[in-house]
Amino acid sequence: MNQEALVRALTEIVGPRRILHRPGQLAAYECDGYVAQKGRPRAVVFPETTEEVSRIVRLLHRERIPFVPRGAGTGLSGGATPLHDEVVISLVRMNKLLSVDYENMRAIVQPGHVNLTLSKRLGPQGYYYAPDPSSQSVCTIGGNLAENAGGAHCLKYGVTTNHIVAAEVVMPNGDVVEIGAEFGEAVGYDLLGLIVGSEGTLGIATAITVRILKKPQAVRTVMAMFDRVADASDTVSHIIASGIVPAAIEMMDQLAMQAVDKSNYHVGYPRDIEAVLLIEVDGLEAGLPELADRIIAICREHRARSVKLAESDAERALWWSSRKMAFGATGRISPDYIVQDGVIPRTKLTEILARIAELSEESGLRIANVFHAGDGNLHPLICYDARIPGQTEKAVAVGSAILRACVDVGGSITGEHGVGVEKLEEMRYLFSDADLEAQLAIRAVFNPEDLCNPGKLIPRPGRCAEVRDAHWLAAKHAEIAAGFPDQTLTTSPGAGA
């Protein structure tokens, strides 16, 4: 099917106003929040119903044309980036809250519904949706499902997969299937569990049923500043070991503090502390003083220079905004930066931070550290200047080295941002060829021709060196690489057609 015929066929499904296909219109869809690799989509369509999504997918499947589902495009690993001449299926117009059942604590949304919008809609009734990625004011619940997104409060409440109970999914062949169960145990293999976190490679969610929670009666937020990073890490381990399950424990190092203090949310962190912890407990008001006291005592035991309890909602909000701005604010201290997303066993915090400091020194690149310390999820922000020859490559290499260090201490290469195209290579470090083959075999059940978001998430086994070279090539000649389908990531039958 040539471009003209394709546009005609798609227009028949969505009408002339919900399709983009002229080169000038497509630039915004060339990548997501991971900007190192870009590709031009064939077209972008904006379906409004499940039936439209199904018809689009059926058409593309029949014509062997690859496609990518897309939410808000805030992904940080290239999951929504079209690298194989795909049709982008944007879900942003499917943004309705379909129903809420407060009594039974469930809500059903369309995939384009923005995360924070849901909590705002539920707020007046005293409910909220727990997973709270820092991007929650823009990212979609469909994107959250696909990435199994996390957030600061996932320490106590769990990540997206713990909050989605059922979904309507358009499978890669266009079939519409209901998976999961609103209540109790779904019968059969846990397809929902598999599809959550599958980065849009196993189907497109078109309606999502989530658990909603009653807002906690009360919250206490503690901010503790430390002269030494190691003391802050030890505090985290000690709190976890003491039997308290805080709602969140976040950590920032000095460079990250400098960055966020330049944002609109100025806290005024001292310049001579190494780390700050933001610790929150929530639950029944009557139970919180003893928890907060205990936490404050533990911080002091580990030589916190200062420990402060938020005195008002406004102060608490400022602290959180400051923390949630960290990625964006890094732009104020560095022309370019890479956000990494490693995970370590929480007890290895001190060790990994020392390693990151070493890598920073060796490479001469500054690294700001921001992380969900409570569950060992690190976000090193590697600062570089793309205008200086060689720095981009260096930054990419440092990022990769950090992820390897995480794996070496028993961790993982991604805790919430996904593999996408960015971390394909690092997957090999974590999994054996046999493990990867098993994952590809499972993909093949749903997406045998790899038309549905091709080349993402799982690398082909046993082609390590080749991909490594290509990776460097892509980094060095991004604009050239964008021009041809990346053969190393997968052999997509649709590519170049």
Ligand X SMILES: Cc1cc2nc3c(=O)[nH]c(=O)nc-3n(C[C@H](O)[C@H](O)[C@H](O)COP(=O)(O)OP(=O)(O)OC[C@H]3O[C@@H](n4cnc5c(N)ncnc54)[C@H](O)[C@@H]3O)c2cc1C
User: Applying CB under 8 A, which part among 21-29, 87-95, 219-227, 338-346 lies near other proteins?
Assistant: 338-346
Q: What are the beta bridge partners of residue 224? A: 277, 307
Any contact of residue 386 with other proteins (CB under 8 A)?
no
Any contact of residue 495 with ligand X (CB under 6 A)?
no
Of ligand X, other proteins, none, which one sits near residue 343, judging by CB under 5 to 8 A according to partner kind? Answer: other proteins
Half-sphere exposure of 119 (CA within 13 A, CB side): 17
Phi, psi of 297 (to 5 degrees): -60, -40
Any contact of residue 199 with ligand X (CB under 6 A)?
yes
Binding to ligand X (CB under 6 A): which residues in 84-113? 91, 111
Nearer to ligand X, 75 or 216 (CB): 75
Of ligand X, other proteins, none, which one sits near residue 377, judging by CB under 5 to 8 A according to partner kind? Answer: other proteins
CB 213 within 8 A of CB 173: no
**Given candidates 63, 137, 267, 283, which one binds other proteins under the rule CB under 8 A?**
283
Taking alpha carbons only, the member of 485, 488, 453 closest to residue 472 is 488
Scan for tokens 């299937």, then name that residue: 177
CA dist., res. 140 & res. 131, Å (int): 12
**DSSP string over 202-258:** S-EEEEEEEE-EEPPSEEEEEEEEESSHHHHHHHHHHHHHTT---SEEEEEEHHHHH
C-beta nearest to ligand X: residue = 143
Give the shortest CB-466-to-ligand X separation in angstroms. Answer: 24
Within the chain, how many helices (H) and strands (E) appear? 17, 19
Q: Extract the tokens encoding 205.
A: 């969610």
CA dist., res. 421 & res. 219, Å (int): 39
User: Applying CB under 8 A, which part among 47-55, 249-257, 337-345, 482-490 lies near other proteins?
Assistant: 337-345
CA dist., res. 414 & res. 407, Å (int): 10
Taking alpha carbons only, the member of 119, 102, 118 closest to residue 110 is 118
Give the shortest CB-206-to-ligand X separation in angstroms. Answer: 7
Binding mask 285-324 vs ligand X (x if CB under 6 A, - otherwise)?
A: ----------------------------------------
**Given candidates 39, 69, 376, 459, which one binds ligand X under the rule CB under 6 A?**
69
Give the shortest CB-194-to-other proteins separation in angstroms. Answer: 6
Is residue 277 left, alpha or beta, with left meaning phi > 0 and alpha meaning psi from -120 to 50?
beta
Nearer to other proteins, 111 or 172 (CB): 172
Nearer to other proteins, 357 or 440 (CB): 440
CA dist., res. 230 & res. 370, Å (int): 15
Binding footprint of ligand X, residue count (CB under 6 A): 37
User: Applying CB under 6 A, which part among 142-150, 222-230, 278-286, 468-476 lies near ligand X?
Assistant: 142-150
Q: What are the beta bridge partners of residue 367? A: 382
Q: Extract the tokens encoding 237.
A: 């381990």
State the residues that interact with ligand X by CB under 6 A: 32-33, 68-76, 79-80, 91, 111, 133-135, 139-140, 142-144, 146-147, 149-151, 199-200, 204-205, 327-328, 416-417, 453
